[in-house]
Structure 1
Amino acid sequence: MTETNASTGAGPEFGWREFLTRWSEEWAGARDPGEEGLDGDEEALRARWLGFAPATPERIAALEERLGRRLPPSYRSFLEVTDGWRHAGGFVYLLGGTEHVRWHRDEAGLGEMFREYLDEDASPEEIDEADLWDRALDLGVESDAVYVVMDPQDVDEHGEWAVYTWAPWRASPPERHGAFRDFMQEMYREFHSLRADRDDAPQFANATTEALDANVSEARRDALRGDYERAERLLTEAREFGRPRAKALLDQIKWLLGDTYLADFGGLAADPVYEQELLPVLAAEHAEESWRDDDSFKFRVGAVPAELTGPAEQALRQARERTFVYAPEGPFGAAVRAAREQARWGETDAAWHTLLAALPEWRPLGPDQLAPVGLLADPLLAPVLTAERRRELLATPRGGEATGTPRGGEATGTACPAADVSPDGLAWLADRELDGPRQAYRFVLVEGVEARELPAVIGAKGDTALRAPMARWEADARGSLPYDEALVAVGRAGPGWSFAFDADPLPFHAPRFASPAVAASRNGRAVVVWAAPAEHGQPALFHLSVAERGEERYACTVQGTAVERSGDIPEALDPERLFRQGRWDEAAALAAIAAAFGVSLPRHALTEGRLHTFVTRSWTRPPGPGETYLVASVRIGTPEDPQAPDGPDA
C-alpha cells in the first residue's frame, strides 16, 4: 500500500480542481438528507460542488487593483477555479471571493485586545500578533467566530502569504499556515476529522477514508517490522483525518519517543483488553507531576466527572507508591522478570540486553498494540529505557514479525544499537556530576557477599532489611543523617563483588574516621574509598582502605599534598605513585583500584536508576580516653514511611 495523496500539494502549483472536486463529492456523499444546513447547502448538494463559478480574469484584476497588491499564487489560482468556498472545515461556513475580500484594518478590535495583554517583556512575536490585524487581508465571511486572514508581510520564496486563523473560544494564539493552499488542506483534514467523530461515522466512507484506513493497518505492520519512522508518518496523516485506531497506535510510538504531550492512547486505556498495560503508563506520568490534581488523569482515562475506581484507581495508587510490576506473559514475560532482577541490583546494561534479546518473542494483547509500552510504567525498568534504547526497541522486529525485514533494508535510520550507558570500572566517578555541584562520594566494596546481605555484613542502623528501590533524589528527600552514618545504595560491583554507595557524604574527618572495611571483610576482602573535591578552603581528599578476613591490610589518605599510609600497600595502589608531587589524579587512582580488584560501579543505576538502600552504622570510631562526641541526628523519612529509621542517637 502506498502513502495516500489525500493531503499532497507542496510547491506553487496545486491541482485545485481535483482537490476541491474530491472534497465536494465527499461532503455531498456524507450529508444526511434531513440534516439542517445553511443557505446555499441544498444548491451545493444538488451540484455536488461546495464552490462557485470561477472568478473571471477581470474580477481578479479588479480585486488586485482595489487591494493595491498582487494576490499570492495559491489564492489567485484558487479563485480561477471557484470564486469562494462553502464549509471550509467545521467552523468557517463561507470563504470570501473577489467580491468580499478586504483589508481587515482591525475592524473587530482584535489588535487592540491583543495589545492589552502586552507588557514590557513582550516578545517580537507577541507584538507582531497584535499588529497583524491592522495589515491583514480578511478572507472570512461567515463563521463560528473564526477569523481567517492573510498576512502580506509574512511571505515565502514563492510569494505565498501566510494564513492565520484565530477564534476566541480556542484560547490559543493565532494558528499559522504557510500558504492559502496549506490552510485549505488543513480545513479538508478538519472536515474529515469532524465527520469521523460523529455517531454516524461508519457511514462516512469514501476512497480517501479507505486509503487512510489501509495505511493504518500497513503502519501497524511497519511498526512491528521495525520501520517505526514510516509508521509514524502514515499514522500522523491518518490521525489528522480522524481515522479510527490511528491515534491509539501513534501515541504508542510517540510515548516511546518521549513525546507524551496530549498522548492518551486514543481511549485504549479504558479498553479491558489493554488497560492492564496502558493505564499504568498514564498513571506513572501523572504521578511524576506532584502539582497535578487527579482531574487531568480522570480526563485522560475517561473517568470525568466520576471518581476513580477499579483499575484506574489501582494504577494511580501503584504509581504513587512505585509498586507497579510489569508482568507480561510468555517468553517475553520471563525476560522481563529476569531484567527486573538485574536492574534492582544496578545491572541496567545487562537488563536492557535481556529485554532486547527477548523482544522478538513479545506478543501484543490485541490488534491495537504495537509495542510493550508497559515497560515505561515499571519503576525498575523505566530508567533502563534511555531515549536511544527506546528507539532501538521501536526499530526491533517483534510481535510475530521478527522474521521480516524492516522496510528500507536491514535496518532503519535509527536502528543502530544503543550504546551501554555504564562504563566499566570506577574512573567515571572522577568527572561525574550527581544532581549538583557536590561531587564527594564514598563507597564500600565487599567480596563474596550478595548485595541483599550487605546490611548485615557492613552493619545497618536499626533494621537490617533493605528499603524498597528508590531513585537518588527520593533518597535525598528523606532528610539528613549524622556525618558518621551513610544512606547507601546497594548493588552488584562485578563478578563476586557487591557495593554500598553514598553519593552525598558530609566532610571527612581523619582523626575520628573508622573504616567499615574491617567489619565488612569477614567473608573475604572489603575495599573502602572516600573522595571529595577541594572546597571551602579544604584540600582535595582521597582515602583507600582494604581489609581481609576482619583485619585491615593497608590504607592511605591523601589530603592535598599530605599523605598518610599504613600497611603494605601494593605498588599499583601506592599513593606516592598515583599522587606524586601533589599532582592530583583521582581518575588514575580509581582505575588502579578497579584493575586490582576487578570491580565496577554502575553509573546509570547510581545516577538514573532505582536501587535498594539502607542506613549504615557509624563510620566514626568510639570516643577514646578523655574524648566526648555529640552527634546530632535528624529523622529521615515521613510518618507515612514505615521503614524510616529510629530517632536520634548520641
Structure 2
Amino acid sequence: MTHPTEFTWGPFLRDWSGEWADSATDDVPYDRADEAARQDRWLGFPAAPEERIAALEERLGRRLPPSYREFLAVSDGWRHAGGFITLLAGTAEARWHDDASGLAAMFEEYLDDDPAPEELRDVEVWRRGLQLDVESDATHVVLDPEDVDENGEWAVCTWASWRAEPPRRFLDFATFMRDMHQEFHRLRARPANGEPEFVNATTRRLDARIEEARLWALGGDWEGAERALDGASAYGRPRASGLGDQIRRLLGGADLSYQDLAIDPRYAVELLPPLVADYARHRHRDDSGLKYSLRGATDDVVALAHTLLEQVRSGTYRYTAAGPFGEAVDRARESARWGDTDGAWRTMLDALPLWQPLGPDHLAPLGWVADPLLGPLLTPERGRALLSTPRGGPAGEPRGDDAVRSGPEGLSWLADPDAPGDHTSYRFVLVEGVEPWDLPGRLADGEEAALDEPMTFHEAHERWLRGRREFSGFEDRALVAVGRAGSGWSFAFDGDRPHLAPQRFVSPAAAACADARAVVVWGGLRDRHGGPFFHLSVARGGAELYAFTYADGEVRRTGPVPPALDPDRFFPSQEGPVGPEAFLRTERALLEAVADEFGVGLPRHAITRGRLHTFTTRSWTRPPRDGETFTVTRFAWGPN
C-alpha cells in the first residue's frame, strides 16, 4: 500500500499555484505579494536549503516529520493554503505553539472527570504542537510531535473558531495539504455570477472520472462508482455528490444533499419524494425548513414538493414509473399490500434491467422508497442488490439472488428475541382457501368486518386506541394485520402483547373456516401470571378437529392431535413448568412443526416493518357467566 505522503511535492504545488492564478480575477485587488504570486504562477517561496532545515531542527530540538521536511525542500512556506490560511510557516516562522492561542485552556474547561484519550489530545496538542499558521482567518494549525506513526510522520491538528466542530486531525502534513487543495477547489467549484468558470486539468480529470463512475454505477459496479464519486466530491465537483447520494440513499442513508438534482424538473418526480419523506419524518409538522431545501426551485417544483409532503404525511403517495418497470411496480405494490414483501421485491428487481434513467444524472429508481407500501421493502442488503443489477442500458455482470430475501420463512422467527410485541406473546389465525380480504367477514362483526387502509402496527394501534371509548376487563378483541401466509392460505396476526386466559379462551378457528381448514396459534414467554404458554387449535368445516394448550406447566388437549404436532413430543412429562430458555427451544420447534404440517409461513419483514391492512376481531374470550364479575372503563370526551 502506498503511504499517503509518498507523492512528488513539486508538480503538486506547481499545479495548485497555476490553478489559483487562473482562478484570480482582475476586479479583485491583490497586495504586492499576491500579485507577484499570480504573475509568477507560484504560491510558494524559494526552496529551503538543507542547512536551513537542519537549523530549524536544531532550534526545535526535534527532527521534522518527513512530509513537512520534503515540502520545505521545495517551498519554504506557502500562501493561501485552502480558503482560510493566508500564510503557512516555513523554516523562519515555524515555532512551538505553547498554547499561544489559549485553546488548551479553553478545551480543558470542557473535560469531564474521566476524559477520553482523544479529548486529552485536543487539549495537550496546543501546548506541545509545532505552530504552522502564520496568517489566517481564525484558523489554527499545529503538527503534533507526540502523535507519530511508524513512518515518523506527525499528525496535523487544526481548529477554526467559526466551525461548530471539534479539532480536525490529519494523518500527516501531506494529507493536510491535499485537503487544503481540495478545499480551494470546493470554494471555487460553483462560481458566483460574473466569475469565470473554474476549469483546469484537475477539474477536467475529475469530471471525466465522474462520467466513468456513472457508467460503472448503471452497470452494477456501485462500489467502484462510489469511491470515484467520493474522490470527486472532495473537490466539490458539482455532479459528484448528487450521484453519490443516490447510491447512499439506497444503502439506507438519509438527510442527503442531492437537493440540487431533486429540484431539477427533469428529476423531481423521482428524487423529490425520498427527500420530502425524510423531511416529513424528522420535522413533523414544521414546514419552515422545506423552503430552504427547495431554494432555487421553480414554482412548479415547489408546488410538487408541497403536494408530495401532504401525500407522504397522509400515506397516500404512490410511486409510478414509465414502461414495463412501472407495470412491475404496480404488481409489486399489490403483493406488498398482502404481506408478500419477498415476492414484491423479486418483481421489482427482475424488472429493474428494463428501467431507464430520466437523464444523465439519474442512477436508479428512488421515488419508490417514499411509497408507504414499497418503501418498507428497502434494506441495506436489498439496496446493494438493486445497485448491483445492471440497468438503464449498459451491460454488466448479472446479479445474484443471495440478498433478495428479507429473512427466514416459516413461523420459527416468532421465537427470536426481536420478535414483535417485545417477545411477550403473539397470536394468529391461518385460514385455507380464502383471500385476506375475506377474513374480516369470518372473524369480526358489523362495522368492524372491514379492512382499514394499510399501515404499520404502531400506526394501527395508535388509531385503534384513539377510536376506543370503552375497555372491558372481560372482552379480548384483537387488532390484527392480514396477508397471505403461503400457497392457498391467509393470515390474521396480532403481535401486541395479548394475554392468554385459558379458562375463558374460545378459539376462533371453527368460526373462521368453511370447507377448508383454519389454524389458531397463540404463544409466548409470559401471560398475565408470568408463565410460558402455547396454544394450537385446528378446525375444518366449522368444527374443531383438535387442540392443545400448554399453560401453568400442564398440557390440556382435545381431539386426535396428529403425531407431528403431538404435545408429548415437545413437552415431556416433568415436574413444574418449562423454564424460559427451554421453552424458547420448545416454542421454536413447535412453530417449525406447524409450518411443516400445513405448509404455511408468516412474512416477517411485512409484519415487523411493512404496512398491512388491519381490522379488529371478535373477542377471543367467551362472555361472562352468571356470578362472574369484571370491570368496564368508559371515556367521554368533552369540549376543551
Partner of 1:143: 136
Partner of 1:242: 236
1:421 aligns with 2:406: yes
Gaps spanning 5+ residues in structure 1: where? 1-7, 640-650
Gaps spanning 5+ residues in structure 2: where? 466-470
- Tell me which of 472, 475, 480 is aligned to 1:488: 480
1:459 aligns with 2:444: yes
Cα distance change of structure 1 residues 474 and 434 upon mapping to structure 2, 3 Å threshold: farther
Cα distance change of structure 1 residues 460 and 612 upon mapping to structure 2, 3 Å threshold: farther
- Tell me which of 382, 388, 393 is aligned to 1:395: 388
Partner of 1:252: 246
Partner of 1:280: 273
Counterpart residue identity of residue 594, structure 2: I
**Secondary structure at the residue paired with 2:618?**
coil
Counterpart residue identity of residue 207, structure 1: A
Q: Distance in 2 between matches of 1:321 and 1:291?
A: 12
- Tell me which of 555, 566, 579 is aligned to 2:571: 579
Answer yes or no: is the 8 Å Cα contact 2:220–2:387 preserved in 1: yes
Partner of 2:205: 211
Q: Distance in 1 between matches of 2:151 and 2:445?
A: 73
Partner of 1:184: 177
Q: Distance in 2 between matches of 1:627 and 1:121?
A: 61
TM-score between the two structures when normalised by the length of structure 2? 0.91
- Tell me which of 326, 333, 341 is aligned to 1:340: 333
Counterpart residue identity of residue 338, structure 1: R
**Secondary structure at the residue paired with 1:40?**
helix
Q: Distance in 2 between matches of 1:13 and 1:532?
A: 62
Counterpart residue identity of residue 239, structure 2: R
Post-superposition Cα deviations, 1:211-261, rounded to whole Å, max 9, x if no partner, equal 111111111000000011111111111111111211110110111122335
Answer yes or no: is the 8 Å Cα contact 1:9–1:15 preserved in 2: no
Post-superposition Cα deviations, 1:303-356, rounded to whole Å, max 9, x if no partner, equal 79x9x9512222222222222211111111111111111111111111111111
Partner of 1:614: 615
1:450 aligns with 2:451: no
Cα distance change of structure 1 residues 149 and 554 upon mapping to structure 2, 3 Å threshold: same
Cα distance change of structure 1 residues 504 and 203 upon mapping to structure 2, 3 Å threshold: closer
Partner of 2:468: none
Q: Distance in 2 between matches of 1:424 and 1:566?
A: 29
1:405 aligns with 2:392: no
Q: Deviation at 1:12? A: 4.4
Cα distance change of structure 1 residues 12 and 88 upon mapping to structure 2, 3 Å threshold: closer
Answer yes or no: is the 8 Å Cα contact 2:5–2:175 preserved in 1: no
Q: Distance in 2 between matches of 1:198 and 1:205?
A: 10
Counterpart residue identity of residue 511, structure 1: Q
Post-superposition Cα deviations, 1:10-60, rounded to whole Å, max 9, x if no partner, equal 444331111111111111122222322344111111211111111122221
- Tell me which of 216, 221, 224 is aligned to 1:227: 221
Post-superposition Cα deviations, 1:163-210, rounded to whole Å, max 9, x if no partner, equal 111111111111111111111111111111111122256622111111
Q: Distance in 1 between matches of 2:477 and 2:388?
A: 46
Q: Distance in 2 between matches of 1:633 and 1:620?
A: 20
Post-superposition Cα deviations, 1:259-287, rounded to whole Å, max 9, x if no partner, equal 335x2215111111111211210122222
Counterpart residue identity of residue 436, structure 2: A
1:65 aligns with 2:50: no
Q: Distance in 2 between matches of 1:219 and 1:202?
A: 27
Q: Distance in 1 between matches of 2:114 and 2:317?
A: 45
Counterpart residue identity of residue 624, structure 2: P
Partner of 1:51: 44
Q: Distance in 2 between matches of 1:463 and 1:561?
A: 36
Structure 2 counterparts to residues 435-446 of structure 1, below 5 A: 437-446=422-431
Counterpart residue identity of residue 589, structure 2: A
Q: Distance in 1 between matches of 2:386 and 2:195?
A: 35
TM-score between the two structures when normalised by the length of structure 1? 0.90
Answer yes or no: is the 8 Å Cα contact 1:432–1:439 preserved in 2: no
Structure 2 counterparts to residues 558-597 of structure 1, below 5 A: 558-582=550-574, 585-597=586-598
Structure 1 vs Structure 2 CA RMSD = 2.6
Cα distance change of structure 1 residues 290 and 575 upon mapping to structure 2, 3 Å threshold: farther
Q: Distance in 1 between matches of 2:384 and 2:116?
A: 36
Answer yes or no: is the 8 Å Cα contact 1:264–1:300 preserved in 2: no
Partner of 2:293: 300
Q: Deviation at 1:560? A: 4.0
Answer yes or no: is the 8 Å Cα contact 1:433–1:439 preserved in 2: no
Counterpart residue identity of residue 597, structure 1: F
Q: Distance in 1 between matches of 2:296 and 2:305?
A: 9
- Tell me which of 489, 496, 503 is aligned to 1:504: 496
Counterpart residue identity of residue 612, structure 2: L
Q: Distance in 2 between matches of 1:15 and 1:581?
A: 79
Q: Deviation at 1:429? A: 1.9
Q: Distance in 1 between matches of 2:636 and 2:508?
A: 23
Q: Distance in 2 between matches of 1:626 and 1:338?
A: 55
Q: Deviation at 1:294? A: 3.6
Partner of 1:646: none
Cα distance change of structure 1 residues 339 and 203 upon mapping to structure 2, 3 Å threshold: same
Structure 2 counterparts to residues 307-322 of structure 1, below 5 A: 309-322=302-315
Answer yes or no: is the 8 Å Cα contact 2:48–2:72 preserved in 1: yes
